[in-house]
Homo-oligomer: A and B are copies of this chain.
Amino acid sequence: MIDSPKPKRGRPPLSVRPVTRDRILDAALEAFSERGFDGATVRQIAAKVGVSDPALYAHFKSKKEIFEALLRLAGPDLLANAGVDSASKETPMQIALPDMFGKIIATWSTPRARAFASLVLRMGPDGLGNMLQDVSTRLRPVFESWQAQGELRGDISVEVAIWQVIGPLAGLRITYLHGDASSADIAHATKLAKAHLELIAQSLTKSGSQVK
């Protein structure tokens, strides 16, 4: 009870080491994206940072809190905003669409964003699902405006049109733009995205006429 004969615990001498919240979050993103929330351990994260595990608890209250900070911080922005925000009602669809695509692919190609994609993936269906729903919702007014201006053909629903754009992107993200992706993967994804865009842009404009 009162006898602790060898009190050799405590912080050992130290040279230099700045362990910040950010470095922890980086390490956690890496760990969680590699093994999922349950598969990653606090000790693994700490090891990536280069400290012992209790050190993390000076910055975060729990493993779960680290995870949530990660979601809150990097989540919506990294994944979706980038390209979506660049699409505005004023810009003609034929110009805005390629622009949006380019920006989205660029954003998703960064290591952080790719690691984050893996992480979200591992959260189960709700993770990616909600993300896509979110993008879809935010794109809707822009597409509606394009349709009103005659740039988007009127015989297909806005929702279908959005899905034409978003759907393959989601596939690309999962297939090529994840944490382990090589630069070849990334290049390939970019190529596919561009090719997809060209085709889809045509479909969304006049198609109907040709049926004639």
Contact = CB atoms under 8 A, between A and B. Distances in A.
Interface of A: 1-4, 7, 33-39, 62, 64, 67, 117-118, 121-126, 128-129, 132-133, 156-157, 159-160, 163-164, 166-172, 174-176, 178-181, 192, 195-196, 199-200, 202-204, 206-208, 210-211
Contacts of A171: 132, 163, 166-171
B117 A125 contact: yes
Nearest to A163: B192
A117 B62 CA distance: 30
Given A34-B124, A36-B37, 14 more contacts: A1-B35, A1-B36, A2-B67, A35-B38, A125-B180, A132-B174, A160-B192, A160-B196, A163-B171, A167-B167, A174-B174, A200-B203, A202-B207, A202-B211
A145 to B, nearest CB: 20
B164 A196 contact: yes
Nearest to A210: B210
A204 B198 CA distance: 12
A91 to B, nearest CB: 22
